[in-house]
Structure formats: structure tokens, C-alpha cells
């Protein structure tokens, strides 16, 4: 299919030139959802596939990259979570664990295990793997890595991207010396990348032009973009590329749980809400029993990653038991535009629609 649409889309930007991709379309790195098949399909379709490595160990990260390399010779990226430093007491963890006991009967569980209060992360080792494997693009969310890390990646030929949800964060990313910024509008599915204040919910139509005017690094727009119209609108506002999560989540190649895909395909914009109850960090997903029941405790829960570890077993069991009441069903605000199609078909539709608007 790529051969048919080759050269159709005339939207070369500094980002497409620099990354050697044909279309300024990134598949969002979705930790837990991206598979080597998804990442490589997007890159083979001449967008940029991105590995969501936030929850992977260094060894798993290496294995994932190697699988992608076997499936594509095109450039692809990887995304890491910048570790956060919050503290929590055993007592807080015990109290939060008790709040989750209402799930036990429905999921036929005896108890919820108390995870360690010392979160572990392979962040430093993952960075070594990125360099060792020669990955060309590395994006970060939940903060900014140290200047030393940024410089080391760039020294090894890696294009480094940060995630911002307002102009202040985009400024910090530019000052830190990163090469580009993903601006995440309030429409976006999954976790908020906010790192300076607790909450920031600026719509993408406001966010792109303001960041474009107040920074000088390339801007990549994310949040609610599902088709050629969204791509065109974002580029009109000054973005040099776009990053789509929910649109790729429902594709055939995505590793999202079938119930997750089905829920997104059947959802409306009003079903999608912001919640911190799954992980301790604000995220956008389809409302369900877990979100509704836990809402009254939302302000009392431990911060990410502690709450995330506490609910891990519940989410895993729910997925195993096909029970969407307790799964985190991340989705952006445009689920009505989602489609059950292949990556190549989606890319084709986007390119054709984009092209038809230039006539
Ligand atoms: C299921 C899911 C998982 C996500 N995981 C990540 C992640 O690991 N890293 C990241 O930077 N962004 C992650 N995001 C956010 C995306 O990068 C992007 O901001 C968002 O998908 C854009 O909104 P959209 O879903 O409406 O396209 C995730 C989004 C979804 C839907």
C-alpha cells in the first residue's frame, strides 16, 4: 500500500528531514500497548513507530528493540519514563491497600499484596541499551532527564524529545537542550506528562501555537488527533509533526487487550475522563466501576508509582478474567473516530484525507 501513496503527502518539515521519515506522523509510545509489530508497521508505513518502554526492564528493552530491528529497516523511536522521587510510608500504603478491598470479591482474589515502598526502575540501564542498540530517537515523559544524560544521548547521535503540557514546561525542555518537544493537549489519552505543577489541561488548539511562538525547538502535537483533519490542523497551527495514540491503539497490530480496543471503538467523547485512581498520576481513560467507586478517595491516594504498584494485580487479574470494570482503559477524547483497521490502512486514510484538503 505504501508504494501507492508514495510521494502523495507534501509536508516535509525539519522533523521529517532530520528523522528521515516521509510523513510527520508519530505513533505514540504506549507503554503496555506497543508491540514490535505495531512499531515496525508504522515505521514501514513511513511514519515514526515508537516503543513505549516505560514499564520494561533493561533486558526487556533490549529484546524489544532487537525484535523491531528484525521487522523494519526504517527509523523508529523509544520512550522512557523519567524517574520521580516521591516518598510514601508503610502506613499510607496499608490504608490505600484497604481502599482497594472492594475489588476482591468481583475478581475472586483473597488479598491485595503490599508492594515495596522502594520503587525500582532500570532507567540508567535502559539509557545504556538505547545507545548500545543505536536507536535514533528517544523521547521522555514525566520530567526532564539530567543535562549529562541529554548530552550523552545527543553525542551518540540520538534525537532527544521531551513532553510538555504548557509553555512553561516546553521552555524548560528547550533550556535543557532537548531537540524537540511533544506538546500534550488536554484531549490526550493515557498519563499526563505534566511535571512542573500538579495539573495542566490546555487544549491542543491553544497549546500548539503558544508553544510555537514561545520556543524555538520543533513542536510535535499530541491529543485527540485521529485522522487527516487533525494532522492538517496541527501543522497549520505550527506543529512540525503529530503524535497519535488512541488512533493506533485500535489497529490490528496494537497489543492493547481486545476488551480495551472494543471499549474505545464503542466509546463516546463523554465516556472519557481524567482519573488518578489507577496509578496516582492523572490519566485519561474510559470511565468504569473502578474509577467511579474510587473517585471519593482520589485526593488521598499515594503518588505514582506507588498507587500504580498497588493496583497492578487488580488490573492484571481483570484483564485475565475479561472484566473491564477494573481495567485501565486509556483513551483520548476522540474515541468516536477510532477504527478497527490495520496500521497501513490507517496511514493510507490519513494521507489521502490530508492530501484531499490541499486541493
Ligand atoms: C494507552 C496509552 C498509553 C500511553 N503511554 C504513554 C507512554 O508510555 N509514554 C508517553 O510519553 N505517552 C504515553 N501516552 C500518551 C501519548 O503519548 C499521547 O500523548 C496521547 O496518546 C495523545 O492523545 P490521543 O490518544 O488522543 O492520540 C499513552 C497514551 C495511551 C492512549
pLDDT, mean of residues 162-170: 98
Gap from CA of 130 to ligand 1 centroid (Å): 20
CA distance 351 to 254: 20
Q: Which atom number of ligand 1 is nearest to the Cα of residue 163?
A: 11
Of the candidates 25, 49, 19, the residue with the CA atom closest to the CA atom of residue 347: 25
Task: Note the pLDDT of residue 121.
Answer: 81
pLDDT, mean of residues 338-355: 96
- Whether the per-residue pLDDT at 65 is higher than 70: the answer is yes
Kindly state the cell numbers that stand for 250: 485500535
Distances (CA, A) of 74 to 34, 44, 187, 190: 17, 6, 30, 27
359 or 55: which leads in pLDDT: 55
Confidence of residue 8 (pLDDT cuts 50, 70, 90): low
Distances (CA, A) of 34 to 64, 72, 77, 256: 10, 15, 12, 8
Q: What is the pLDDT of residues 48-58, one digit of tens each?
A: 999 999 999 99
pLDDT, mean of residues 13-25: 94
CA distance 117 to 311: 14
Q: Which atom number of ligand 1 is nearest to the Cα of residue 224?
A: 26
Gap from CA of 287 to ligand 1 centroid (Å): 17
Gap from CA of 97 to ligand 1 centroid (Å): 27
Q: Which atom number of ligand 1 is nearest to the Cα of residue 226?
A: 27
Task: Note the pLDDT of residue 359.
Answer: 64
Task: Note the pLDDT of residue 149.
Answer: 98
Gap from CA of 5 to ligand 1 centroid (Å): 27
- Nearest residue CA, atom 21 of ligand 1? 245
CA distance 236 to 78: 27
User: Which residue matches cell numbers 472519557?
Assistant: 272
Contacts of residue 78, defined as CB under 8 A and 6 or more positions apart, other chains included, come to: 29, 50, 51, 53, 61, 65, 130, 135, 137, 138, 139
Strand partners, 25: 242
pTM for the model stands at: 0.96
Length of the chain: 359
- Nearest residue CA, atom 4 of ligand 1? 30
Gap from CA of 54 to ligand 1 centroid (Å): 11
- Asked if residue 208 lies in contact with residue 221, where contact means CB atoms within 8 angstroms, the answer is yes
- Nearest residue CA, atom 15 of ligand 1? 190
Pocket of ligand 1 from Cβ distances under 6 Å: 28-31, 33, 52, 54, 79, 141, 163, 184, 187-190, 222-225, 243-247, 249, 330, 332, 334
Please name the helix (run of DSSP H) or strand (run of DSSP E) that holds residue 219, with its range, or none.
Answer: strand 219-222
328 φ, ψ (degrees, to nearest 5): -85, 110
Confidence of residue 355 (pLDDT cuts 50, 70, 90): confident
Q: What is the pLDDT of residues 300-337, one digit of tens each?
A: 999 999 999 999 999 999 999 999 999 999 999 999 99
Confidence of residue 124 (pLDDT cuts 50, 70, 90): very high
pLDDT, mean of residues 14-18: 93
Please name the helix (run of DSSP H) or strand (run of DSSP E) that holds residue 61, with its range, or none.
Answer: helix 58-71
- The mean predicted confidence, pLDDT, of the chain is 95
- Asked if residue 46 lies in contact with residue 22, where contact means CB atoms within 8 angstroms, the answer is yes
Domain 1-83+121-253+342-359 has CATH 3.40.50.1860: no
pLDDT, mean of residues 279-304: 96
Confidence of residue 112 (pLDDT cuts 50, 70, 90): confident
Distances (CA, A) of 63 to 170, 188, 225, 319: 32, 29, 30, 24
Q: Which atom number of ligand 1 is nearest to the Cα of residue 246?
A: 25
Lowest mean pLDDT across 117-121, 238-242, 257-261, 336-340: 117-121
Gap from CA of 245 to ligand 1 centroid (Å): 5
Instruction: Provide the residue ranges of all domains of the chain, joining segments of one domain with +.
Output: 1-83+121-253+342-359, 88-118+256-337
Amino acid at each position: 500500500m505504501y508504494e501507492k501513496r508514495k510521494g502523495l503527502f507534501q509536508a516535509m518539515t525539519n522533523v521529517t528531514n532530520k528523522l528521515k521519515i516521509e510523513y510527520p506522523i508519530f505513533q505514540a509510545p504506549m507503554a503496555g500497548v506497543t508491540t514490535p509489530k505495531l512499531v515496525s508497521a508504522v515505521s514501514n508505513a513511513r511514519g515514526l513507530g515508537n516503543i513505549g518502554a516505560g514499564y520494561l526492564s533493561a533486558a526487556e528493552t533490549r529484546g524489544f528493540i532487537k525484535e523491531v530491528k528484525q521487522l523494519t529497516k526504517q527509523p523508529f523511536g523509544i520512550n522512557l519514563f523519567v524517574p520521580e522521587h516521591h516518598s510514601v510510608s508503610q502506613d499510607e500504603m496499608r490504608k490505600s491497600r484497604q481502599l482497594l478491598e472492594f475489588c476482591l470479591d468481583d475478581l475472586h482474589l483473597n488479598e491485595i499484596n503490599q508492594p515495596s515502598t522502594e520503587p525500582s526502575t532500570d532507567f540508567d540501564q535502559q539509557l545504556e541499551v538505547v545507545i548500545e542498540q543505536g536507536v535514533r530517537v528517544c523521547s521522555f515523559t514525566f520530567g526532564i532527564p539530567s543535562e549529562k544524560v541529554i548530552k550523552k544521548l545527543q553525542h551518540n547521535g540520538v534525537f532527544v524529545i521531551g513532553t510538555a503540557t504548557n509553555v512553561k514546561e516546553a521552555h524548560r525542555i528547550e533550556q535543557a537542550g532537548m531537540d524537540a518537544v511533544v506538546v500534550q493537549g488536554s484531549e490526550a489519552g493515557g498519563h499526563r506528562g505534566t511535571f512542573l505543577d500538579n495539573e495542566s489541561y490546555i487544549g491542543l488548539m491553544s497549546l500548539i501555537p503558544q508553544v510555537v511562538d514561545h520556543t524555538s525547538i520543533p513542536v510535535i502535537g499530541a491529543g485527540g488527533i485521529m485522522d487527516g483533519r487533525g494532522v492538517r490542523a496541527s501543522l497549520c497551527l505550527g506543529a512540525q509533526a503529530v503524535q497519535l495514540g488512541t488512533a493506533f491503539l485500535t489497529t490490528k497490530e496494537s497489543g492493547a487487550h481486545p476488551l480495551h480496543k472494543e471499549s474505545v471503538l464503542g466509546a463516546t467523547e463523554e465516556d472519557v475522563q481524567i482519573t488518578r485512581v489507577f496509578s496516582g498520576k492523572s490519566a485519561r481513560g474510559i470511565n468504569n466501576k473502578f474509577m467511579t467507586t474510587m473517585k471519593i478517595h482520589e485526593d488521598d491516594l499515594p503518588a505514582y508509582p506507588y498507587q500504580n504498584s498497588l493496583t497492578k494485580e487488580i488490573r492484571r487479574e481483570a484483564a485475565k478474567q475479561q472484566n473491564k470494570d477494573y481495567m485501565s482503559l486509556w483513551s483520548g477524547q476522540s474515541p468516536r473516530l477510532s477504527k478497527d483497521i490495520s496500521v497501513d490502512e490507517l496511514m493510507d486514510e490519513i494521507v489521502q484525507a490530508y492530501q484531499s484538503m490541499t486541493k
